[in-house]
Amino acid sequence: MRNRQVFVVLAFIVALAASCGTAKRVPAGADTPGELSRKLGLPVTGRDNLHLYTEAANWLGVKYTYGGNTRRGVDCSGLALQIYAEVYGKKLKRSSADMLKYNCRKVSRGKLREGDLVFFRTGRGKKNIPNHVGIYLKNQHFIHASASRGVIVSDLNDPYYLRGWITGGRVK
C-alpha cells in the first residue's frame, strides 16, 4: 500500500511539472486575445503566443529611425532584435543580412511559423542579401518597421513584399 501511495504522489508531481513547462509566458498586464486581434488586425486566440502578440502590439506605431532600437525610434532589424530578446530571450545580430547568415536556418514561405523571421530585398543591392526583416505572426502577416510608416503589420501577399521576398528564417 505504501509503494502505491508513493507512486501516486510521484506521478502527480511529474504531471504537474510537465504541465508547467508547456505554459506560455505572458507578461503581466497583457491584453486579451480580443484586444490583440483588434490592435493587430489578426485573429488572435489563447493558443497563440500571447507574449509575442502583446509585444508586437506594444511596438505598433513607433516611428522609423535608421539605426534605432527603442520605442522612441526603431528600424527593422532593431525591432526584430528587441522583440526576440523580450519574447524568446535570444540575442540576434544587428543587421538583417547577419540575422539570416548567423542566427537562422532558411524556411520556405509555406512552412513559416509564428515567430519566424521574414527577409526581403527592397531597393538596390545584391539580390539574395536582405536589407529588410520582419517577424511572422500568422495568416501571411508579419510585423516590421517600415521606413515610411513606422512599425506596422503587413501582408506577405502584397505585391511589394512578393517582389522583394528572399526567404523565411527559423532562429536557431
Catalytic residue among 20, 104, 141, 144: 144
Between the CA atoms of 149, 154, 159 and 165, what dihedral angle is there, to the nearest 10 degrees? 100
Q: Catalytic site residue 76?
A: yes
Catalytic residue among 20, 51, 104, 132: 132
Amino acid identity for residue 115 in this structure: G
Q: Catalytic site residue 132?
A: yes
Q: Which residues pair with 167 in a beta bridge?
A: 119
Catalytic residue among 20, 76, 104, 141: 76
Closest CA to 119 of 102, 139, 71, 85: 102
Contact 144, 158 (CB under 8 A): no
The C-alpha angle 71, 157, 99, rounded to 5 degrees, equals 50
Active-site positions read 76, 132, 144
